[in-house]
Amino acid sequence: MPHKLETSTVTRRATTIPGLFAAAIGLTVFAPIWFPLTVVADVVRGRFRCPTTRLLAFGFCWAWLETAGVLVATAMWLTGQRNNRRAHYELQRWWSKNLLGALRQTCGITVDVAGMDAFDRGNALLFVRHASLADSLVSAFVATTLAGLQPRFVLKRELLLDPCLDVVGHRIPNYFLDRGAADSAPELASIAALVGDLGPRDIGIIFPEGTRANPAKRSSALDKIAGRDPARAIRLGGLRHLLPPRPGGAKAMVVGAPDADVVLAWHVGFEGLDTFAGILAALNRRMSPIRFSARRVAAADVPRDERFEAWLDEQWLQLDAEVAAALTERT
């Protein structure tokens, strides 16, 4: 990455980083005000588990963890460690572990992981469902803290508004995707290049659905597919929980890393947490642990030609069935 930052990057960071510092300081200074007020507001509304208070408490932790991350990254830059990947991966590991710990302490969200053997080595690509803002954090936690791997994420460009993701995310291999690009070819080429040199401790990560799932988005996606490929729409019509996968980015990954295995992962517990109201409703009840499950497919069993789309659809239907079974067990 060039040492000279683009003007748009400088402009963005000149807004987001001071905004982050202001949020951390403001949440601290005004804690004696917002804490009791939100407790009273929750109780008056019959929310006796105080979800608003707990969510703001997590926001407080997030702001200071983000601030610490940005300050450490700045210190690395000042001491000539800007290109030290190992140090930045350690920072990412610290950030994801402590952020998930903050979720546990403030919101009662814990994670149970099954299938950790799928992460026993790198040179792999992780395709994972997307249901909440927090599931990318869980994926990072599993890959970095539990597996000790070095993830390379494909993330939407809008996440550059997160200062820590912006600064650290540009110093280690990641790609921030422009989902509204008029020409997708350069985006797909960049995704393929991202995983072109995966090592034994590296793992590429993408969310093939492209956005957080809900019934309205599922119906809309299937309608759009039906207009282009009726047979595929029929094939995916049985999806109940996941969105139809967008094969472009995932295929770019498998083509870019022809020797890499594929890890397919699903999780349950984030359903309904794709809106602010849904988060508050979930926090107002005792949450069951987030269940994260993964399985590994050998590189030789992953088609990397025109058969890939049908293969991915088949895998996604299987993940959807596993999610349905897991949700049934939780009821």
Query: How confident is the model over 180-234, as pLDDT tens digits?
Result: 888 899 999 999 999 999 999 999 999 999 988 889 999 999 999 999 999 999 9
- How many angstroms separate the CA atoms of 259 and 71, rounded? 38
pLDDT band for position 5 (50/70/90)?
low
Tell me the C-alpha distance between 95 and 43, whole Å.
33
Summarised one tens digit per residue, pLDDT across range 145-177 is 999 999 999 999 999 999 999 999 999 999 999
- Mean pLDDT, the chain, as a whole number? 94
Helix-helix angle 51-78:7-29, to 10 degrees: 130
pTM of the model: 0.92
Quote the CA–CA distance of 78 and 68 in Å, as a whole number. Answer: 15
- Residue 204's SS3 state is strand
Residues 84 and 55: their CA atoms lie apart, in Å, by 34
**What are the strands of the beta sheet with 175-177, ordered from one edge?**
111-114, 290-297, 261-268, 124-128, 202-206, 150-156, 175-177
Residue 119 has φ and ψ, to the nearest 5°, of: -110, 20
CA Rg, the chain, in Å?
Answer: 20
Helix/strand number for the chain, H first, E second: 12, 7
pLDDT at residue 7, rounded to an integer = 66
**CA neighbor of 195 nearest in space, from 123, 248, 141:** 123
pLDDT, residue 2, reads 39
